[in-house]
Amino acid sequence: MSEQVFKIVYCSRNLIAGDDQARTAEIEHILESARRNNSKAGVTGALLYSSGFFAQALEGPRGEIEVIFERIQRDPRHGDVTVLESDYEPKRNFSAWSMAYVEPSAGAETDTVGAILQNVMADKAEASRVVDLLRDLVLQED
């Protein structure tokens, strides 16, 4: 029997103050902490930042995911946290990463990804697009 894993996918607006350098440093701090803590908790996932939006998929034990997501909802670096999907899945999408991170390169790719995230924030019906986008971008980076 395959592993049943709880998954939550959300988008949020970036509220990290400062310039690009400050934002990058803060995201690196977030990733360092997430990777350390997620490994201990059996949580995997991916984080995407583009055009002022975050998208993240978290997968693992439901209790651990709920604790992490509760912290995210209270985190002043996130605004308009919008749950796109929350359910059990038969397998992990990001099993190789305690927290993969992608930030599209500048130019058209950033504009396209940013537009997708902005649309998804407005219309939760496109939630599966975020998971596909995360998976595709993470695999490109790997």
Largest Cα span, the chain: 48
CA-CA distance, 47 to 56, in Å (whole number)? 4
Angle, alpha carbons 23-48-98 (nearest 5°): 100
Domain ranges of the chain: 5-141
Q: What is the pLDDT of residues 85-138, one digit of tens each?
A: 899 999 998 998 899 888 876 555 555 666 677 666 666 556 667 777 777 777
Q: Which fold has domain 5-141?
A: Alpha-Beta Plaits (3.30.70)
- Mean pLDDT of the residues in the chain: 84
Does residue 1 have a pLDDT over 50?
no
Q: What is the DSSP letter of 122?
A: H
